Amino acid sequence: MDHDIKYIDEISLKNKRVLMRVDFNVPLDENGKITDDTRIREVLPTINYALDEGATLILASHLGRPEGKVIPSMSLAPVAKRLARLLDKNVRLTADCTGEDTKKIISVMQPGDVVLLENLRFHPEERANDEEFGKALGALADIYVNDAFATAHRAHASNVAVVGHVKEYAAGLLMKKELGYFTRILDKPLRPLVAIIGGKKVSDKIGVLKSLCDKADKIIIGGGMALTFFKALDYNVGNSVAEDSAMKTALEVIDYARSKKLKFYLPVDFVVADKFSPTAETKVVTYQEIPEGWMALDIGPATVTLFSEALQSAKTIIWNGPMGVFEMDAFSRGTFAMVNIVANSYALTIVGGGDTDVAVHRAGEYAKMSYISTGGGAFLELLEGKELPGIKALRDNT
């Protein structure tokens, strides 16, 4: 996959004002405390690189979904504080991401200084990819750098419109790392390439499933989406999450996989529960025996053994989506068993963000994965073979 874009280490940053789009959309608890700062840490190499090269740094990010309104609990203030601690330098937060006051603050910045603009999504123009808003952002700097991989699948003003309003632009080092891994797994993967797809809905991942049929040697299906496959194959799935509207697609995927002669694995047993609750009554049953009124909420032990065998010879493993409702202890064993198997494999292991990332962290196996993408949606869209708008903007304007 040739993305054909320029990276930050190919341009001169000395004494330049650099507007860097980052994804600091970190989770906060009810007291506004950051519960996981991975997304901030992942951009530190790019930030430090720009500062070492003599740039004046203006960082821009969104946080949450304020829907175009100023929502104080979605201020980037906790991020500015955490970043200041991580960089061991002062990080000023502007009251607004554009406007005269912001321009004034930026006009007196010196090389080595860092400013964080307040939440881009406090303005409705951001999500609307508004040209004027993009222009206002672009006017703040000499150079624009996009290092927000996790937002690259969105066409928003700060990653698309802005590009047309700056003299020079490039992608950052996190973007380089993420795209580099995708090139490795999609262009010339070491085979066998095994994909593990879980999570709730087939409908969210149809494109990915079809595209993986073209690329992978084996596909392993777990999580709620497996139940849609079973229902489509005429098995009783009780009250499980099966999506009736996606059953036809599920059968098409099975047929397509068969025509490609790739191995397609579904669970052979499940942990079923009499209700969706951590205190539900549970038991392990085979896929033919899901009782009426019960729901399958995790893969069972025989499935873990089957999937483990399927992964044994893998040289590349791509994983997105949990194997069950891992948020509840009673239904987390399947997901955590798979985390251990993947973490201890000799394969190149790439994990897509979101829930799978949380599961890997919770299992304490973060360091053993080859790569954990910071992107959820962006990860899936790249796997699907789509071009991300944030990347396309950097290419089209070259």
> Which residues lie near ligand AMP (CB under 6 A)?
199-201, 204, 223-224, 241, 296-297, 321-322, 324-325, 327, 355
Question: To 5 degrees, how large is the angle CA 77–CA 126–CA 145?
Answer: 75
Q: How far is the CB of 224 from ligand AMP (least distance, A)?
A: 3
Backbone angles phi, psi at 271, to 5 degrees: -90, 120
Q: Which is nearer to ligand AMP, 94 or 239 (CB)?
A: 239
From the CB of residue 177, how many other CB atoms can be counted at a distance below 10 Å?
Answer: 17
Catalytic residue among 135, 377, 385, 395: 377
Catalytic residue among 134, 138, 224, 354: 354
- DSSP single-letter state for residue 61: -
Q: Which is nearer to ligand AMP, 199 or 375 (CB)?
A: 199
**Six token digits for residue 85:** 């601690």
**Beta partners for residue 18, in sequence order:** 57, 143
Q: How far is the CB of 335 from ligand AMP (least distance, A)?
A: 8
As a dihedral over the C-alpha atoms of residue 96, residue 97, residue 98, residue 101, rounded to 10 degrees, the angle is 50
- Which residues have CB under 8 Å from 394's CB, separation 6+? 5, 6, 146, 163, 169, 170, 171
As a dihedral over the C-alpha atoms of residue 338, residue 344, residue 345, residue 348, rounded to 10 degrees, the angle is 100
Q: How far is the CB of 378 from ligand AMP (least distance, A)?
A: 14
Strands 269-273 and 282-286: antiparallel
**Six token digits for residue 293:** 């009124």
Q: How far is the CB of 384 from ligand AMP (least distance, A)?
A: 14
Told to judge if 39 belongs to the known catalytic residues of this protein, a careful annotator would answer yes
End-to-end Cα separation, the chain, in angstroms = 18
Backbone angles phi, psi at 187, to 5 degrees: -80, -60
Q: Which is nearer to ligand AMP, 264 or 331 (CB)?
A: 331
How far is residue 380's CA from residue 218's CA, in Å, rounded to a whole number? 18
Q: Which is nearer to ligand AMP, 172 or 354 (CB)?
A: 354
Q: How far is the CB of 235 from ligand AMP (least distance, A)?
A: 14
Told to judge if 377 belongs to the known catalytic residues of this protein, a careful annotator would answer yes
How far is residue 17's CA from residue 117's CA, in Å, rounded to a whole number? 14
How far is residue 173's CA from residue 272's CA, in Å, rounded to a whole number? 44
Q: Report the candidate in 350, 355, 353 with the shortest Cα–Cα distance to residue 371.
A: 350
Catalytic residue among 17, 21, 39, 127: 39
Q: How far is the CB of 245 from ligand AMP (least distance, A)?
A: 15
**Six token digits for residue 395:** 């290419």
- Which residues have CB under 8 Å from 88's CB, separation 6+? none
Q: Which is nearer to ligand AMP, 63 or 296 (CB)?
A: 296
Q: How far is the CB of 170 from ligand AMP (least distance, A)?
A: 32
Q: Which is nearer to ligand AMP, 199 or 390 (CB)?
A: 199
State the residue number with the nearest CB to ligand AMP.
199
Told to judge if 248 belongs to the known catalytic residues of this protein, a careful annotator would answer no
- Asked if 196 and 220 count as a contact pair (C-beta separation under 8 A), the reply is yes
**Beta partners for residue 273, in sequence order:** 282, 295
Q: Which amino acid is at 358?
A: V
Q: How far is the CB of 189 from ligand AMP (least distance, A)?
A: 22
Q: Which is nearer to ligand AMP, 133 or 270 (CB)?
A: 270
Told to judge if 188 belongs to the known catalytic residues of this protein, a careful annotator would answer no
Q: Which is nearer to ligand AMP, 192 or 334 (CB)?
A: 334
Query: Which residues have a catalytic role annotated?
Result: 39, 201, 354, 377
